[in-house]
Amino acid sequence: MAGIDITGLAVEYPNGVRAVDGLDLRVADGELFALLGPSGCGKTTLLRAIAGLEPVAAGAVAIGSRELTGVPPGARGVAMVFQDYALFPHMTVAENIAYPLRVRRAPKARQRAEAERVAAGLSLSGLLDRRPGQLSGGQQQRTALARAIAVEADVLLLDEPLSNLDARLRLEARTFLKRWQRELALTTVFVTHDQAEALALADRIAVMEAGRVRQLGTPREVFQRP
């Protein structure tokens, strides 16, 4: 069980900005959950706090039944895709995707096979031996997504994962993400500013405003579709 339980969470930057301000949220195990809201409302900060990358001023985050205060990012069972991808420039696409397996000392052949499998679903098969510097922005984004999937974490956190893709690739990546997420029942939280994306992908949506959840429900409830 790897639902996410957030209670009274506050994150404050050194300049005094309360980017997350007393936020409560529960994401169910295996749910595909979207965070929507205007720029600056705290979406990225919330993801980073779940990942353990921002110190928490108040409240708590739990995954499953495990409270995460003081647990370092690498031990949280969380994989995150950043807006700037954070790929290793000296590694090939295949090596980047397989990196989490390499850290776990998986056999070389398994690393390659897993990289090929994940890459195929994201139309990256022809690019496995390139380096990030030889990829377009969209290709880098898909590589970052592939690497996060290869982590086999309990929880996947995605910061605007499909924002750099053209319309065709975005559709493909949506389909892949949804299928993969269903197969693995991977609890997934993704940030987007795109209502259509949230509508197409999410089981539920939280709309944030000024560091809190303003609205919460299924896409139908949030967008009041008939």
Binding site for ligand ADP (CB under 6 A): 13, 15, 17, 19, 37, 39-45, 83
Distance, in Å, from the CA atom of 184 to the CA atom of 189, rounded to the nearest integer, reads: 14
Distance CA 192, CA 35 (A): 6
> What is the closest distance, in whole angstroms, from the C-beta atom of residue 127 to ligand ADP in the complex?
26
Q: How far is the CB of 15 from ligand ADP (least distance, A)?
A: 5
Comparison of 97 and 212: residue with beta carbon closer to ligand ADP: 212
Instruction: Report d(CA 67, CA 59) in Å as an integer.
Output: 11
Query: How near is the Cβ of 36 to ligand ADP at its closest, in Å?
Result: 9
Cα 222 off chain centre by: 21
The helix-helix angle for 93-103 and 137-150 (nearest 10°) equals 20
Q: Which residues lie below 8 Å from residue 32, measured CB to CB, with a gap of 6+? A: 178, 181, 188, 190, 201, 202, 203
Q: How far is the CB of 37 from ligand ADP (least distance, A)?
A: 6
Are 180 and 186 spatial neighbours (Cβ–Cβ below 8 Å)? yes
4 and 26 in contact (C-beta within 8 Å)? yes
Nearer Cβ to ligand ADP (40/74): 40
Cβ proximity to ligand ADP: between 39 and 65 the closer is 39
What is the rounded distance in angstroms from the CA atom of residue 143 to the CA atom of residue 145? 5
Taking the complex as a whole, the smallest distance from the CB of residue 42 to ligand ADP amounts, in Å, to: 4
Could you tell me the smallest distance in angstroms from the CB atom of residue 148 to ligand ADP?
Answer: 17
How far apart (Å, rounded) are the C-alpha atoms in residues 82 and 148? 10
